[in-house]
């Protein structure tokens, strides 16, 4: 009996973006990098009216949240959430730090990951994906990555760049990003 989802529409820029939204960490945070990407549609064209939101653990794999059973931990300068609308070329950029490994439902550690929501005109519900890091040894044992067809698994793994990482999102088609439901 939940309230249904509806599209964010083309005009969310009126209400949702905010100053500092793309910054999951405060300026000057050690180890901070840019996570940049392009959102593409099924024709390979950029999506200029998407909204990207990210959520992640802090570098120790902890959350400042009452439901973290290990206890909420507030890390100064760390919000863990970022929101960035795409530009006319479909690009987004988020400033963050690398999360630590996080326990899964069974307590087994998952490789460092960032959860991503993609919202846009033409998406009646958000789509959710995960960003993993290319150089993380823990990826090999990650229980979520293990469920993904190896051919499509690489869509979940960011690429290293000069100032951080790149993670492109393809909504549809041959190179479609893996999206999750829960």
Nearest distance in Å: CB 107, other proteins: 4
Nearest distance in Å: CB 162, other proteins: 27
- Identity of the residue, 41 or 168, whose beta carbon is nearer to other proteins in the bound complex: 41
CA dihedral 91, 102, 81, 87 (to 10 degrees): 0
List the beta bridge partners of residue 96: 33
Nearest distance in Å: CB 49, other proteins: 8
- Identity of the residue, 104 or 161, whose beta carbon is nearer to other proteins in the bound complex: 104
- Identity of the residue, 20 or 163, whose beta carbon is nearer to other proteins in the bound complex: 20
C-alpha 23 chain-centroid distance = 13
- Shortest CA distance to 109 belongs to which of 148, 163, 70? 70
- Identity of the residue, 35 or 120, whose beta carbon is nearer to other proteins in the bound complex: 120
Nearest distance in Å: CB 77, other proteins: 12
What gap in Å lies between CA 62 and CA 72, rounded to an integer? Answer: 7
């Amino acid at each position: 009996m939940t309230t249904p989802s509806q599209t964010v529409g083309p005009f969310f820029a009126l209400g949702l973006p905010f100053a500092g939204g793309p910054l999951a960490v405060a300026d000057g945070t050690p180890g901070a990098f840019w996570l940049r990407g392009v959102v593409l549609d099924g024709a390979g064209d950029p999506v200029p009216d998407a909204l990207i939101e990210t959520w992640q653990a802090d570098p120790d794999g902890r959350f400042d949240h009452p439901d973290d059973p290990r206890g909420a931990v507030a890390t100064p300068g760390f919000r863990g959430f970022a929101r960035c609308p795409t530009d006319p070329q479909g690009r987004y950029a988020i400033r963050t730090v690398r999360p630590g490994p996080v326990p899964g439902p069974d307590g087994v550690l998952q490789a460092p990951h960032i959860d991503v929501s993609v919202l846009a005109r033409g998406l009646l519900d958000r789509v959710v994906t995960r960003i993993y890091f290319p150089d993380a040894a823990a990826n090999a044992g990650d229980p979520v990555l293990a469920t993904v067809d190896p051919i499509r698994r690489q869509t979940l793994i960011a690429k290293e760049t000069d100032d951080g990482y790149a993670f492109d999102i393809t909504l549809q088609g041959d190179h479609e990003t893996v999206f999750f439901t829960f």
